[in-house]
Amino acid sequence: MADIIQLLPDHVANQIAAGEVVQRPASVVKELLENAIDADSNEIKLIIKDAGKTLIQVIDNGKGMSVTDARLSFERHATSKIKNAEDLFQLCTKGFRGEALASIAAIAHVELKTKRAVDELGTVIKMEGSKVEHQDVVVTPNGTSVAVKNLFFNIPARRNFLKSDTVELRHITDEFHRVALAHPDIAFVLYHNGGELFNLPNENYRQRIVHVFGAKTNEKLVPVNEETEVLKIEGFVGKPEFSKKTRSEQFFFVNNRFIKSPYLNHAVNAAYEGLLKEGYHPSYFLNLTVDTKTIDINIHPTKTEIKFDDEHTLYAILRSAIKHSLGQFNIAPVLDFEHQEQFNTPYSYKNKEASAPSIDVDRGYNPFKEETSQKGAIQRTSIRSNKTNNWESLYVGLESKSNGHNEPLKEFSFESDQVSTSLFDDTDSDNFQKPTFQLHNKYIVSTIKSGMLVIDQNRAHQRILYENFLKHITIKEATSQQLLFPINLDFTPNEIAIIKQLKSDLEHTGFVFTHIESVSVTISGVPIGVPESEVSILLEQLINDIENEVPDTNFSAADLLAKSLAKTLAIKNGQSLNRTEQEHMVNSLFACKEPNLSPTNRPTFITWSVDEIEKKF
């Protein structure tokens, strides 16, 4: 029997490796930016076209490469970062596997231009599908420029799995933020389709956070600094009152490398215990510096998860450091029985002697004059009564003319509500309204002919609001309530772009936008039924939903918008409803086109027949 195991060709092996390294355009951005940082650059430009599907170009002013290094950089497992196995446990650089450029070149058209400061001319290499198409000398500035064009041109199936441009651009922006926040000493510029999205100069860490997430972020930050033999912590956490329902502003960096760690995230949440409302998450931007020998980076293909030798110690130090900062800056409530300002002695009383208390005595007081004063009081009372005895004279001449005669009005009739002593009105059986009850402030229970009906009030209200919002968006007619004082909200540039994209649909639901600027929005009108205090929460939740699932068609966008608005504005489980509200909920639900399911395709009610109830006994 012939042998069946054979070695894969290099171009096939490169495409398999590309499946791990390059999942979407953002993966290419991450690898190229990390290579530019490892080249000791202090200025990096990222140029994107069509959310990376057409072009991803990274230009840096780093060390550059020689002709030989430029050619070897596209070979598999060729790297300057490690030379032996021990180096894997002492990594101080970003890229180290030597698969990035080889994997990218296997699935895209790549053009590399590079030049060292000691060389007069640089090198240009053009590759298509792991094949070198052209190599020559070129005049180019010091540093390296890598242009990746037509990503997944030879793997159409992978290209078809890419999301819309808005989703892919969001992932690219996320990777850009992670790299830019980890290296505030490097200047970054991001261009998309010819427009400048970010221009971050060389600055300190606080300024970098403010430039990335908006000017209003500055007042939200609380510094955290702690240095021990095991761990050094530098960075900022957000004040509890500025917490969000999303986790969009949570960043951990270990040795200047972005990581995801649910364990360390739990330590941060533990430090905020008792300071956050349920369902809200704190913001944090924390740099952790540890010994490279105590961590293992190469446990995940994207290198965003690492393994610590002693996680429990890191947990305790991180939790204590954040708690200390929140208390030091009077963010957390503190009980202090030793000092109270109202007990401080003023400076003017420092050398002043205590004065003896004085007593005022009415020496002309005579208790036998009481009878005389009582007579005076009686006399004053009689004078007042004389003034009010003739009160009828105030109404002389006033006559009722409503009956057409000059006769005083003698009879008055009052309209009052009829008080019923019974729980339900005694009406005919045909017009009898089925009673409703609320169970645990979560379910509405009512009777039907076949048995019993149980409605989930949150899901039912979501269905009602969803169909109303979808109707308003579709027919482009909505009622808005004007605000006495316009609301000014601050957002990041990415969030402003999403609001601009949804502006017309939001206006059809009842929102009125006065101004939309680069990092702020002014709202002068909101849909009827939306509390003014809920506007910022509503828009933040909407932006988060859109970022995670942006559809490609306008109808789907309107559908997603209606779902998000309904989910945020629906009454929550635990809210008490009176009898009228319960009946209105039931009637409105069964007036919907699809009363059986919520917008997320979950049942809104269940029914129990009499037979099913009898089986329980």
152: domain CATH number is: 3.30.565.10
Quick one: 154 and 226 in the same domain? no
Q: How distant, in Å, are the alpha carbons of 25, 296, 557 from that of 551?
A: 18, 38, 6
- Give the C-alpha separation, 89 to 292, whole Å: 7
- Where residue 206 falls (left for φ over 0; alpha for ψ -120 to 50; beta otherwise) is alpha
- Quickly list H helices, 203-250: 205-213
Decide: 99 and 76 in contact? Cβ < 8 Å. Answer: yes
Quick one: 135 and 241 in the same domain? no
Of the residues 144, 169, 200, which one is the last residue of a structural domain?
200
- pLDDT mean over 169-188: 92
314-323, 355-364, 567-576: the lowest-pLDDT one? 355-364
CB atoms within 10 A of CB 545: 18
- pLDDT mean over 343-357: 67
- Give the C-alpha separation, 544 to 467, whole Å: 21
- Quickly list H helices, 137-261: 156-160, 165-182, 205-213
Q: Is residue 70 part of a domain?
A: yes
Quote the Cα angle for 601-607-611, to 5°: 145
Q: pLDDT tier at 370 (50, 70, 90 boundaries)?
A: low
Q: How distant, in Å, are the alpha carbons of 22, 99, 143, 146 from that of 11?
A: 15, 13, 28, 20
Quick one: 61 and 175 in the same domain? yes
Q: Is residue 356 part of a domain?
A: no
Q: How distant, in Å, are the alpha carbons of 344, 345, 348, 355, 591 from that of 352?
A: 15, 11, 8, 9, 81
Quick one: 266 and 253 in the same domain? yes
| pLDDT(554) > 70 | no
First to last CA, the chain: 71
Q: pLDDT tier at 374 (50, 70, 90 boundaries)?
A: low
Decide: 576 and 438 in contact? Cβ < 8 Å. Answer: yes
Specify the pTM: 0.67
Decide: 88 and 96 in contact? Cβ < 8 Å. Answer: yes
Question: Which pLDDT belongs to residue 480?
Answer: 79
Quick one: 194 and 211 in the same domain? no
Q: Is residue 528 part of a domain?
A: yes
- pLDDT mean over 263-281: 88
Quick one: 281 and 168 in the same domain? no
Quick one: 479 and 580 in the same domain? yes
Domain range for residue 578?
A: 436-607
- Where residue 130 falls (left for φ over 0; alpha for ψ -120 to 50; beta otherwise) is left
Question: Which pLDDT belongs to residue 497?
Answer: 81
| pLDDT(162) > 80 | yes
Decide: 492 and 461 in contact? Cβ < 8 Å. Answer: no
Question: Which pLDDT belongs to residue 553?
Answer: 42
Q: Is residue 112 part of a domain?
A: yes
- Give the C-alpha separation, 380 to 393, whole Å: 22
- Tell me which residue of 37, 26, 304, 325 sits closest to 184, measured CA to CA: 37
Of the residues 298, 328, 358, which one is the last residue of a structural domain?
328
Question: Which pLDDT belongs to residue 16?
Answer: 67
| pLDDT(237) > 90 | yes
Quote the Cα angle for 179-182-186, to 5°: 80
Question: Which pLDDT belongs to residue 435?
Answer: 78
Could you tell me the two tokens for 179? 């790299």
Q: How distant, in Å, are the alpha carbons of 187, 501, 515 from that of 497?
A: 23, 6, 14
Q: Is residue 378 part of a domain?
A: no
Question: Which pLDDT belongs to residue 552?
Answer: 47
Among the ranges 290-294, 413-417, 461-465, 499-503, which has the highest mean pLDDT value?
461-465
Q: Is residue 589 part of a domain?
A: yes
> 24-54 pLDDT, tens per residue?
899 899 989 988 998 889 999 999 999 899 9
Decide: 318 and 233 in contact? Cβ < 8 Å. Answer: yes
Could you tell me the two tokens for 523? 């709202």
Decide: 282 and 274 in contact? Cβ < 8 Å. Answer: no
| pLDDT(535) > 50 | yes
CATH number of the domain at 526, please: 3.30.1370.100
Question: Which pLDDT belongs to residue 394?
Answer: 56
| pLDDT(517) > 50 | yes
Look at strands 295-296 and 307-308 and give their pairing: antiparallel
Quick one: 182 and 258 in the same domain? no
- Which helix (DSSP H) or strand (DSSP E) does residue 59 occupy? strand 55-60
DSSP strands (E only) in 441-594: 443-448, 451-456, 480-490, 512-516, 520-527
Of the residues 299, 328, 357, which one is the last residue of a structural domain?
328
CATH number of the domain at 218, please: 3.30.230.10
Sign, Cα dihedral of 398, 403, 407, 413: negative
Give the mean pLDDT of the chain: 79
Residue at token pair 């949570």: 250
- Give the C-alpha separation, 415 to 59, whole Å: 82
* Greater model confidence, 486 or 419: 486
Sign, Cα dihedral of 102, 107, 108, 109: positive
Q: pLDDT tier at 349 (50, 70, 90 boundaries)?
A: low
Question: Which pLDDT belongs to residue 85?
Answer: 57
* Greater model confidence, 549 or 515: 515
> 413-471 pLDDT, tens per residue?
555 444 443 333 444 333 345 678 888 888 999 888 888 889 999 999 999 988 888 88
Quick one: 311 and 235 in the same domain? yes
Question: Which pLDDT belongs to residue 548?
Answer: 63
Q: pLDDT tier at 549 (50, 70, 90 boundaries)?
A: low
Quote the Cα angle for 446-452-458, to 5°: 55
Q: Is residue 427 part of a domain?
A: no
Question: Which pLDDT belongs to residue 423?
Answer: 35
Quick one: 215 and 190 in the same domain? no
Q: Is residue 245 part of a domain?
A: yes
In this structure, the dihedral spanned by the alpha carbons of residues 599, 603, 604 and 608, taken in order and rounded to 10 degrees, is 170
CB atoms within 10 A of CB 87: 14
Instruction: Give SS3 for 82.
Output: coil
Residue at token pair 């110690």: 313
Q: Which residues contact 600 (CB under 8 A, 6 or more apart)?
A: 462, 563, 567
Quick one: 71 and 172 in the same domain? yes
- Give the C-alpha separation, 73 to 80, whole Å: 9
Burial (CB < 10 A; 0-12, 13-18, 19+), residue 368, is: exposed
DSSP strands (E only) in 170-297: 187-192, 195-200, 221-227, 232-238, 250-254, 257-259, 284-289, 295-296
Among the ranges 74-78, 153-157, 371-375, 521-525, which has the highest mean pLDDT value?
521-525
Q: pLDDT tier at 285 (50, 70, 90 boundaries)?
A: very high
Could you tell me the two tokens for 535? 């506007």
- Give the C-alpha separation, 587 to 444, whole Å: 12
- Give the C-alpha separation, 159 to 287, whole Å: 36
How many structural domains are present in the chain? Answer: 3
Q: pLDDT tier at 501 (50, 70, 90 boundaries)?
A: confident
| pLDDT(89) > 80 | no
Q: pLDDT tier at 319 (50, 70, 90 boundaries)?
A: very high
Q: How distant, in Å, are the alpha carbons of 4, 117, 142 from that of 63?
A: 47, 7, 7
| pLDDT(371) > 60 | no
| pLDDT(95) > 90 | no
Quick one: 293 and 216 in the same domain? yes
Decide: 438 and 445 in contact? Cβ < 8 Å. Answer: yes
